[in-house]
Copies of this chain bind each other. A is one copy, B any other.
Amino acid sequence: MANYKITLLKGDGIGPEIVNQAVKVLDKAAEKFDFTVEYDEALLGGCAIDATGVPLPEETVAKCKASDSVILGAVGGPKWDNQPGNNRPEAGLLGIRGALGLFANLRPSVIFGPLKSASPIKDEIIGDNMDIMIVRELTGGIYFGERGRDDDSAWDTEKYSVAEVERIARVAFDMAMKRNKKLTSVDKANVLESSRLWRQTVINVSKDYPEVELNHMYVDNCAMQLVRNPKQFDVIVTSNIFGDILSDEASMIAGSIGMLASASLSGGKLGLYEPIHGSAPDIAGKGIANPLATILSVAMMLRYSLAQPEAAEAIEAAVAKVLETDRTPDIYEEGLNKVSCEEMGDLVCAQL
């Protein structure tokens, strides 16, 4: 019987509550699909600053590296806003991405049938469905390039190597092959040298994927097209900073931020799975947070890191079913049952 070692980085704000529900669902899935899970906890973000003085203690990196996969709640909050830049909760997040080599960030923007009306976009544009997968490069570009100050100026470097672009392009093409064989590469090749290298490298990699229809789009145009007609996109691949902006835009277009999961993958099996929403300090501890994005992140983990696709599908189906009748306050609609974070976890387990 397979046994998986999972590190939990509960983090700050609502992080602990939502991760607890995700663990409950994962345990239930383990029971049903005949595997076992062993958990360890480690500190990241604000809670790590409070306990150790730094947002990413070495012990956390070691524990994550020794595990099969990592589940993250959320980090940050006003309490740590006055920390210097390199010692903020976010620095811990960037640090763990770098330390674990999590170069590929998969961010699906999907609309869950019963939540269709949550999109700010008109019904005639969104139609019955929207399903975009953004593949964002996560350990390169301006996030990790050299930066500094001289005299009265400050600078950051957007830098990409051919190898960095190649490996993220392969992840995107592989994803496109599993979906609708359509890939949009987003860059700013009319201005940036790094984008020209990006585009040329993506074109070179495309020769290994003759079945995938590849097109290129400038980032400013993509920001427009996501609003104008999101359904034209299937898989999008882009750099770290453009991916940061476009994936947030796309997730808002899908509506319900509280529902969206993400995966950050390394070359091997090890991945980090987290909801795309933040730590929501204003509702932390009140028991009203929506745990579904974290539960759906567990489904992504089962699919991408633990090779348990059936368990992943079962969780996704259970979530879809529960949504028909029960909702946390953030996605509540008249006529349905309003439930707490914990009740939502229980309902998904029961449905499983």
Proximity string of chain A (123-152) to chain B, C-beta cutoff 8 Å, 1 when within and 0 when not: 001000000000000000011010111011
Residue A2 lies at the interface, judged by CB distance under 8 Å to chain B: no
Which of B85, B152, B197, B219 contacts A196, CB < 8 Å? B85
CB A289 to nearest CB in B, in angstroms, measures: 19
Which residue of chain B has its CB nearest to the CB of A89? B190
Whole-angstrom CA separation of A313 from B336 in the bound complex: 52
Query: Is B158 within 8 A of A153, CB to CB?
Result: no
Whole-angstrom CA separation of A48 from B177 in the bound complex: 43
Query: Is A191 within 8 A of B157, CB to CB?
Result: no
Which of B88, B120, B198, B246 contacts A125, CB < 8 Å? B120
Which of B153, B159, B221 contacts A161, CB < 8 Å? B153
Which residue of chain B has its CB nearest to the CB of A163? B152
CB A298 to nearest CB in B, in angstroms, measures: 24
B-chain residues with CB within 8 Å of residue A94 when the two chains form the complex? 191
User: Which of A3-11, A223-231, A263-271, A318-326 lies on the face that meets chain B?
Assistant: A223-231
Residue A303 lies at the interface, judged by CB distance under 8 Å to chain B: no
Whole-angstrom CA separation of A88 from B218 in the bound complex: 15
B-chain residues with CB within 8 Å of residue A147 when the two chains form the complex? 192-194
Residue A64 lies at the interface, judged by CB distance under 8 Å to chain B: no
B-chain residues with CB within 8 Å of residue A190 when the two chains form the complex? 85, 88, 90
A interface bracket (residues with beta carbon within 8 Å of B): 35 or more
Which has the most chain B C-beta neighbours within 10 Å: A191, A194, A196? A191
B-chain residues with CB within 8 Å of residue A242 when the two chains form the complex? 245
User: Which of A13-21, A22-30, A249-257 lies on the face that meets chain B?
Assistant: A249-257
Whole-angstrom CA separation of A221 from B162 in the bound complex: 30
Whole-angstrom CA separation of A191 from B98 in the bound complex: 14
Residue A220 lies at the interface, judged by CB distance under 8 Å to chain B: yes
Which of B151, B188, B228, B253 contacts A241, CB < 8 Å? B188
Query: Is A159 within 8 A of B163, CB to CB?
Result: no
Known A224-B251, A252-B228; contact A152-B143, beta-carbon cutoff 8 A:
no
CB A234 to nearest CB in B, in angstroms, measures: 19
Whole-angstrom CA separation of A185 from B302 in the bound complex: 40
- Besides A220-B248, A242-B245, 9 other A-B contacts (C-beta < 8 A): A90-B190, A142-B192, A143-B191, A153-B159, A153-B160, A154-B197, A155-B160, A223-B246, A245-B245
Nearest first, the 5 A-B pairs at minimum CB distance are: A154-B197, A155-B159, A224-B252, A223-B249, A220-B248
Can you give 28 A-B contacts (C-beta < 8 A)?
Answer: A85-B196, A88-B190, A90-B191, A94-B191, A120-B228, A121-B122, A121-B227, A122-B122, A142-B158, A147-B193, A147-B194, A151-B161, A153-B161, A154-B197, A154-B198, A155-B158, A155-B160, A156-B194, A157-B158, A188-B241, A188-B244, A221-B248, A223-B252, A224-B248, A224-B251, A224-B252, A225-B252, A242-B245
